[in-house]
Amino acid sequence: MRHLATAIGLILAVPALAEQAPITGDRPFAEKPFKAVEIATFEDPWALTFLPDGRMLVTEKKGRMLLVSADGRQRIAIAGVPAVGAAGQGALGEVVAHPDFADNRLVYFSYSTPGSPNGIVLARGRLAGGFDGARLEDVKTLYAAHPPKSGGHYAGRIAFSSDGFLFFAMGERQKFMPAQEREGVLGKIVRLTMDGKPAPGNPLAGKGFDAAVWTYGHRNPLGLAFDGQGRLWDAEMGPKGGDEINLILPGRNYGWPLVSNGDHYDGKPIPDHPTRPDFEAPRVSWNPSISPSSLLVYSGSLFPQWQGKALVGALSGKMLALVALDEGAAREDARYDMGKRIRAVDQAPDGAVYILEDGKDGRLLRLTPGR
């Protein structure tokens, strides 16, 4: 649900330059409008997606993909997943069911390849079987980040647009300037066909960029989702401070590493966004950092007060942040203390919110209204 846009044409109508967003600092936690029930635990879980019948696919860092029942009582490791390079920040990462999964059984996922240098790849397989023997068949690599590098910041988030294209976000591998370089796709978001080819009409094709590039100047985009108006948003991990929510607009440069609302980890300053109005500024910026890990635009009925707003999972912040996405602008409305590092957040078919805690015994929690 979080990956599928209802309309994409509106993204082209947003003004060219955003005003500088207010920087969100420390604020008290809000009272939780939900109760959390543990569904299951996993070993270093990374991402989850729901199938139309309420079952889930869950990925774990070291390379397991699991089919899990809606109540968490049944699970099976899915055979056919390629070998994963799980050292450092490497992982079996995103997993997303095709919008027409009920008909084609296709599953898209990303993972970091073994070895060094290496990269993040986008792959696809067809889910066969069930709890008696689930497996991925016809697994294919559709797209690979290039050039290969050593380091972290893989990203690898996936979002589908309603006009039949796929968006794939890649980090700059902790190498800074690849995000600005026209060669390669590190630090960029690309727009692809469902088979992993550069989509026709990409805004930077023919301008010296890879033909797939949609936007550039990204550091580590770990959340990617369309809202109900067809606008694409990312949640991006900044340096020391400067975490961001960005409205993703075709052909724009988001400035990293030339500008940021944070500083380098060694304390060396980075020019703030207002110094370079030619770059697209974030719509929300956090300082101190919360370390955004994931992004869900809520569309269910269980939490009507959240409809159309974003829920951002936070690692160092150990919370869910509620962000209003209003007319191309955004603001943090609330933050909910979860007490644990949050790795992923998604929405079930019935409107419940599920979150995955980070770590060796990371819990899967179901959030429903109540206290």
Active-site residue numbers?
153
What spatial distance separates the first Cα and last Cα of the chain, rounded to whole Å? 26
- Bin 103: left if φ > 0, else alpha if -120 < ψ < 50, else beta: alpha
SS3 35: strand
SS3 content of the chain, % helix, strand, coil (to 5): 5, 40, 55
Asked whether the beta carbons of 239 and 262 are under 8 A apart, the reply is yes
Cα 227 from Cα 243, distance rounded (Å): 20
SS3 215: strand
Q: Where are the alpha helices (DSSP H) in 127-222?
A: none
Structure tokens of 150? 């050593």
Sequence-distant (6+) residues with CB within 8 A of 371 are: 31, 32, 33, 34, 35
Bridge partners of residue 245, in order along the sequence: 235, 284
The DSSP output letter for 33 is: S
The DSSP bridge pattern shows strands 23-24 and 284-286 to be: parallel
